[in-house]
Amino acid sequence: MTIDLTLEDPAWRALDLDSLANRAAWATLTHLGLDPEVCEIALLACDDDRIADLNAEFRDKPGPTNVLSWPAEDLAAETPGASPDLPEPDFTGEIALGDIAIAYGTCAREAEAQGKSLADHACHLIVHGLLHLLGYDHIRDPDATLMEALEVEILGRLGLDDPYRGQDGP
């Protein structure tokens, strides 16, 4: 598996984000039946200012958010609550999944407010962002139910608690 990590905010150095991202991605991809060895992901570890700029540019939403994702291809299912199609390897045998950005400040504030470690929350957000790259979403209620259930299962395999128990989501 290739995770092209760009560490833009030095605050992320407090975590071994490379190992954490690899662990989260490996668990997510294997859970969905994909071979992590052929998958490629770009991960931008940035600050709130940078993600606010990206959020405004790509989503027309002001202010920072915790995680953003840009899928390499649209895999979303047309039927609400249905699983998206799995991506296919290109002619080289690789699967480029897309890009994820995660903001340190927002992630750290949310982790503290939720009483969890920064590493656990970052792991959840990477799983969440990767599911978006794979066509999962939470706009329609049936899709949100499917995506959240997958997150809970994947995080459970990683030894992490259900992030939605008593919370409003990512």
Q: Which amino acid is at 44?
A: L
What's the pLDDT score for residue 1?
87
Query: Domain for residue 170, yes or no?
Result: no
Report yes or no on 169 lying in a domain. no
Residue 151 lies in a domain: yes
Residue 139 has what pLDDT? 93
Q: What is the pLDDT of residues 54-75, one digit of tens each?
A: 999 999 999 999 999 999 999 9
Rounded CA separation 154/33 (Å): 12
Q: Strands of 39-46's sheet, edge to edge?
A: 2-7, 39-46, 95-103, 67-71
| Any domain includes 9 | yes
Q: What is the per-residue pLDDT across 99-154, written as a single tens digit (0 to 9) for each?
A: 999 999 999 999 999 999 999 999 999 999 999 999 999 999 999 999 999 999 99
How many domains does the chain fold into? 1
Note whether residue 163 is domain-resident. Answer: no
In a domain, 162, yes or no: no
- Please tell me whether 31 is known to bind a ligand: no
**138 annotated ligand-binding residue:** yes
Q: Is 124 assigned a ligand-binding role in the annotation?
A: no
Q: List the CATH number of the domain containing 90.
A: 3.40.390.30
Look up the domain containing 57 and give its range: 2-157
Orientation of helix 48-59 relative to helix 104-114, angle to 10°: 100
The predicted-structure confidence for 10-20, as pLDDT tens digits, reads as follows: 999 999 999 99
Average pLDDT for residues 41-45, to the nearest whole number?
98
Residue 119 CA to residue 16 CA, distance in Å, equals 9
**CA nearest neighbour of 127 among 67, 71, 77:** 67
pLDDT reading at 169 higher than 50: no
* Residues in a beta bridge with 70: 99
What average pLDDT does the segment 89-99 reach? 97
Structure-model confidence comparison of residues 151 and 1, the more confident one? 151
Whose tokens are 């939403």? That residue is 61
Q: Residue 165's pLDDT is what? A: 84
Over 80: is that where the pLDDT of 166 sits?
no
